[in-house]
Amino acid sequence: MEKTWNNKAWFMVLPVLVLVAFSAVIPLMTVVNYSVQDTFGGNQFFWAGAEWFEEMLHSDRFWAAMGRNLIFSAIILAIQIPLGIFIALNMPRKGWGVPVCLVLMALPLLIPWNVVGTIWQVFGRIDIGLLGYTLHALGFDYNYVNDPFDAWVTVIIMDVWHWTSLVVLLCYAGLVSIPDAFYQAAKIDGASRWAVFRYIQLPKMQRVLLIAVLLRFMDSFMIYTEPFVVTGGGPGNSTTFLSIDLVKMAVGQFDLGPAAAMSIIYFLIVLLLSWVFYTVMTNYDVEK
Amino acid sequence: MARIDLNHIRHAYGANPKSDKDYALREVHHSFEDGGAYALLGPSGCGKTTLLNIISGLLHASHGQLLFDGKDVTRLSTQERNIAQVFQFPVIYDTMTVYDNLAFPLRNRGVPEADVDRKVRETLDMIDLASWARRKARGLTADQKQKISLGRGLVRSDVNAILFDEPLTVIDPHMKWVLRSQLKQLHRRFGYTMIYVTHDQTEALTFADKVVVMYDGEIVQIGTPAELFERPKHTFVGYFIGSPGMNVMPVAVEGKRAKLGEQVIDLPGAPKAEGNGIELGIRPEYVRLGAKGMPVTIRKVEDIGRHKVVRASLEGREIAAILGEDDHVPADPHVTFDPAGINLYDKSWRVEMGA
């Protein structure tokens, strides 16, 4: 069959192109522009080449923030993915429990980030917060303002509280799509509970799990609002993640060049790691 | 293989069944002989899948007893009953190879790997998938997947019965034929007790030695395909089997005669029933169209290839007749009923006719 070439179709994508240009491409190019120039204010810019990138890649401050971020994301994934699967497996499949569970699960997702931060900031305070006060009264030396470990624990628990639901809901959607016949066949085949999970439920959840891992990785790697509200990146720099550091640099110190270079490196890393996750998970059991 | 006895089985999905309406299965009392090939035939919602799931143990009947070879298995789990079941949609374990799919039921039961290997290879040959053993199961076609579902049952040599729940629903028409004949072959070679649920009469009649027709939670007739065709025990069987179904018309019976409006039909014998609710059933194959007999008006002639279906009106009622492909509709059409094909029904159930 002969293909008809008709370039008018390009006009159809024009609105999207314009939208994406203004929302993503132009801001991104502005950042690229900043990253190769230097300014001393007064809207005067000088060509700096790759200088800022070199500076960033040799900066201990950058790598420290990067390390913290990677550890944070790793912990988040290690807790939220298994926990989410576990909760989804134990959620009711029919009856009045279903809407109740779904609403309970959706609640944390509906709360704005800064509100979540504020809730936990207050919740963990040792003078007025329920959690902080109780722990203190029970004799635990808990104080997220002074102790880096406590600050980390607080931020991680907060993120688990906020985002595990997303993993749960995605997994649950994957689970309810499994026809009953699979469970019946498994019974007939004498499969154990573990075998049912391993060979029926997990493979059927694979696609949604991929999405869950990608979303949770990207979100946790770009986390800003919640730790900023709770700890402000402290104590010291202990909870200063990449985005917090970036904002400090760009807005606080007005170092546009290095901040732009950092943004680009940051963006490339998120892209690279997402690609790695995607490739690994989609190729996991492709025919050899 | 085993003989399966259903001892007054009743089942209701609700908790407190009060009337007959609450029962998905009203009462089933029947035996499946060892090594028989049975079809459970009936419309959707007649309880055939419920009955199948009760046999396999996926459901436990609310009343009654289930025996395998005389042993009470009513309370046993699916696994303990040792049953194979093939479902409507093929169930395969996506991430495993074809080989591992077949090995799965054996490995779950702790069979030594050497025996697993021998049994799996045998089964692969039986279902013609030997060359696919190392392939991932997810890439297969629907009929191959369905064969794997079957194979997971066959691989356990000691299964009591193999149950099929409309297994050909998602299979392409030309493959349906192939799979059905392979099933028949397996049955002949290995003598499995097979119970096959379907709502497709062709499938039921070609697969089974004995067809069990279910309607509204009850078994209405059990018989060979010929018996179901010639002597439907219930008007439902008459309608459901055959294409077009049996003509059923209310008649008044006087001795060896039945009166249909103005017309009088001679019966082969005197029925042992009287009064209201008597109906005469005759299959279109036994309605003869000619110049003599009861006058009819032709409504429509459908040529369906091998023969023609004549839709006519007799005493204001629709009646269908089969006419040979080369036969012509007479100018002044009349019909006669072949006495061999006449059945009488009292309140939908067939009554015997005396001499």
pLDDT band for position A284 (50/70/90)?
low
Among A112-126, A173-187, A235-249, B151-165, the minimum mean pLDDT is found in A235-249
| Phi and psi angles of residue A76, each rounded to the nearest 5 degrees, phi first | -60, -50
Average pLDDT of A251-263?
79
pLDDT at B268 over 50: yes
Residue A200's nearest CA partner among B344, B91, B21, B17 is B91
**What is the distance between the alpha carbons of residues B230 and B235, in angstroms, rounded to a whole number?**
12
CA–CA distances in Å: residue A270 to residues A4, A54, A281, B137, B231: 40, 19, 16, 35, 75
Q: Mutate which of B53, B56, B58, B163 to disrupt the A interface (most A C-beta within 10 Å)?
A: B58
Q: Is B136 on the interface with A (CB under 8 A)?
A: yes
Q: How many CB atoms lie within 10 A of CB A63?
A: 12
Q: How far apart are CA B212 and CA B115, in angstroms?
A: 37
The DSSP letter of residue A203 is: H
Q: What is the pLDDT of residue A130?
A: 85
**Mean pLDDT, rounded, for B41-62:** 85
Cβ <8 Å between A199 and B96? yes
Query: In chain A, which residue's Cα lies nearest the Cα of B82?
Result: A188
In single-letter form, the type of residue at position B141 comes to T
A200 touches chain B (CB under 8 A): yes
ipTM score: 0.74
List of chain A residues whose C-beta atoms are within 8 Å of the C-beta of residue B93: 199-200, 203
Task: Please write the tens of the pLDDT for every residue from B76-101.
Answer: 888 888 888 888 888 888 888 888 88
What is the H or E stretch that residue B194 is in?
strand B194-198
What does the pLDDT average to over B49-62? 85
Helices (H) and strands (E) in chain A, counts: 14, 2
Under an 8 A CB cutoff, do A192 and B108 touch? yes
Contact indicator for B139, B101 with CB cutoff of 8 Å: no
Q: How confident is the model at residue A287 (pLDDT cuts 50, 70, 90)?
A: very low
Domains and CATH numbers, chain B: 4-235 (3.40.50.300), 246-351 (2.40.50.140)
Q: Chain A to chain B, count of Cβ pairs less than 8 Å apart?
A: 58
Kindly report the average pLDDT of chain B as a whole number.
84
Interface with B, mutate which of A94, A182, A189 (most B CBs under 10 A)? A189
* Pairwise CB contact (< 8 Å): B85 & A185: yes
Please report which confidence band the pLDDT of residue A246 belongs to, taking 50, 70 and 90 as the band edges: confident
B135 neighbourhood in chain A, CB within 8 Å: 287
Band (A142; pLDDT cuts 50, 70, 90)? confident
Establish if B139 touches chain A: CB-CB under 8 angstroms.
yes
Question: Residues of B with CB below 8 A from A201's CB?
Answer: none
Cα–Cα distance measured from residue B337 to residue B345, given in angstroms and rounded to the nearest whole number: 16
Q: What CATH number is given for A59-254 in this structure?
A: 1.10.3720.10
Residue-wise pLDDT for A258-278, tens only, equals: 888 888 888 888 888 888 888
Question: Whole-angstrom Cα distance, residue A97 to residue A131?
Answer: 29
- What mean pLDDT comes out for the span B254-264? 82
Closest-approach residue (CA) in chain B for A186 = B105
Question: What integer pLDDT is reported at residue A2 of this predicted model?
Answer: 67
For chain A, the average pLDDT equals 84
Q: Which of residues 195 through 224 in chain B touch A, CB cutoff 8 A?
A: none
**Would you place residue B74 in the very low, low, confident or very high pLDDT band (cuts 50, 70, 90)?**
confident
Q: Does B104 touch chain A (CB under 8 A)?
A: yes
- pLDDT confidence band for A76 (50 / 70 / 90): very high
CA pair distance A136, A124, nearest whole angstrom: 10
Crossing angle of helices B142-154 and B113-126, in 10° steps, is 130
pLDDT at A288: 39
Residues of A in contact with B149 (CB under 8 A): 185
pLDDT of residue A9: 79
Check whether B272 has a pLDDT greater than 70.
Answer: yes
For tokens 């070439």, name the residue. Answer: A5
Mean pLDDT of B336-349: 86
* Range with lowest mean pLDDT among A202-206, B109-113, B237-241, B326-330: B326-330
Q: Are B315 and B251 in contact (CB under 8 A)?
A: no
**Residues 6 or more apart in contact with residue A103 via CB below 8 angstroms:** none
Whether B104 sits inside 8 A of A203 (CB atoms) is no
The nearest CA of chain A is from the CA of B217 a distance in Å of 22
- Residue B33 or residue B18, greater confidence: B33
Given this model, what pLDDT does residue A55 score?
79
SS3 B154: helix
